[in-house]
Amino acid sequence: MSIQLFDLTGQVALVTGGTHGLGMAMGKGFTAAGARLVINDISADKLDAALKQYSEAGIDSAGYLFDVTSEKQVLEMIPRIEREVGPISILVNNAGIIKRIPLAEMAVEDFRQVLDIDLVGPFIMSKTVVKGMIKRGRGKIINMCSMMSELGRDTVGAYAAAKGGLKMLTRNMATEWAPYNIQVNGIGPGYYATSQTAPIRQKGNPMNEFIISRTPAGRWGDPDELRGAAIFLASRASDFVNGHILYVDGGILATIGKPANE
């Protein structure tokens, strides 16, 4: 009985920025659970490379080139995806960027761009996709939050503002759309080895050692370790889970850490 709760057969999952990193890991998790996968990106090369990688892994996926911050493109692409692949029953707002610049030195347009992709993008995507979900009387939306939805860190102020905002946007979406049997939740990854964290993960970079010492699990997360949380929040197993941020962080948020030499 229980395992069927996690079965995604017949579902169509759209993962924004699903061409690599956490998005690709979750995409593979969804297809392993039976869903059809749709990904997008802003780079045609990355999209083609990812579709090839999925197909080499025996995964049938569809890819669309569009920018999550462009309402015009999103309004054009979502009906096309639903015509060509099927009704979107799972949306993962995964596309995101980070700029590591001290706030006092950060240009307004850099601040705006981070907010635009990481916060306005999920708003535009969700308000567009939810219309079909409301008509169909069911749907799942997962927003990719972060440690920075809860904690500050030097140089990532714009990102923290966006991810903090995304946590509250998640809760408000859940409030407005739960009556339509749509569950909106967030995933809060800790520190994972992807291209986004590559600059701070280099050997000798103090952040690398700091993250390893600050994480009770004592290591960086592997993107595949997010699949369980993603499948849970995309499946019937979470039909009464709403407005929740599921942190998958190796224990970072559970502890204040301990002195390096202990």
**Residue from 12, 13, 14, 20 in contact with ligand NAP (CB under 6 A):** 20
- Contact call for residue 191 and ligand GCO (CB under 6 A): yes
200 binds, among ligand GCO, ligand NAP, none (CB under 5 to 8 A by kind): ligand GCO
The tally of CA atoms less than 13 A away on the side-chain side of residue 171 is: 9
Angle (CA) 243 174 234, round 5°: 70
From the CB of residue 11, how many other CB atoms can be counted at a distance below 10 Å?
A: 21
- Contact call for residue 252 and ligand NAP (CB under 6 A): no
CB-nearer residue toward ligand NAP: 121 or 139: 121
**Residue from 14, 33, 42, 252 in contact with ligand NAP (CB under 6 A):** 42
Q: Give every CB contact of residue 179 below 8 A, 6+ residues apart in sequence.
A: none
Which pairs count as long-range contacts for 178-182, CB under 8 Å and 24+ apart, including other chains? 178/242, 178/243, 180/133, 180/134, 180/137, 180/138, 180/139, 181/137, 181/138, 181/139, 181/239, 182/130, 182/133, 182/134, 182/138, 182/139, 182/140, 182/141
**Residue from 52, 80, 131, 153 in contact with ligand GCO (CB under 6 A):** 153
- Contact call for residue 194 and ligand NAP (CB under 6 A): yes
H helices, E strands: number in the chain: 9, 7
Give the per-residue contact string, 202-241, with ligand NAP (x = CB under 6 A; - = no): ----------------------------------------
In the set 54, 159, 191, 247, the catalytic residue is 159
**DSSP per-residue codes, 147-184:** GGGT---TT-HHHHHHHHHHHHHHHHHHHHHGGGTEEE
Could you confirm whether 159 is annotated as catalytic?
A: yes
Provide, rounded to whole angstroms, the least separation between the CB of residue 181 and ligand NAP: 26
Provide, rounded to whole angstroms, the least separation between the CB of residue 190 and ligand GCO: 6
Helices 121-136 and 157-177: crossing angle in degrees, nearest 10, is 20
- Contact call for residue 27 and ligand NAP (CB under 6 A): no
Give the per-residue contact string, 48-87, with ligand NAP (x = CB under 6 A; - = no): -------------------xxx------------------
What secondary structure letter does DSSP report for 134? H
- Contact call for residue 213 and ligand GCO (CB under 6 A): no
**Residue from 196, 208, 213, 242 in contact with ligand GCO (CB under 6 A):** 196
Provide, rounded to whole angstroms, the least separation between the CB of residue 185 and ligand GCO: 16
Provide, rounded to whole angstroms, the least separation between the CB of residue 158 and ligand GCO: 11
Nearest in space to 128 (alpha carbons), one of 205, 63, 69: 69
CA-to-CA distance for 162 and 157, rounded, in angstroms? 9
Query: Annotated active-site positions, please?
Result: 159
Interaction site with ligand GCO (CB under 6 A): 98, 100, 146-148, 153, 156, 159, 189-191, 196-197, 200
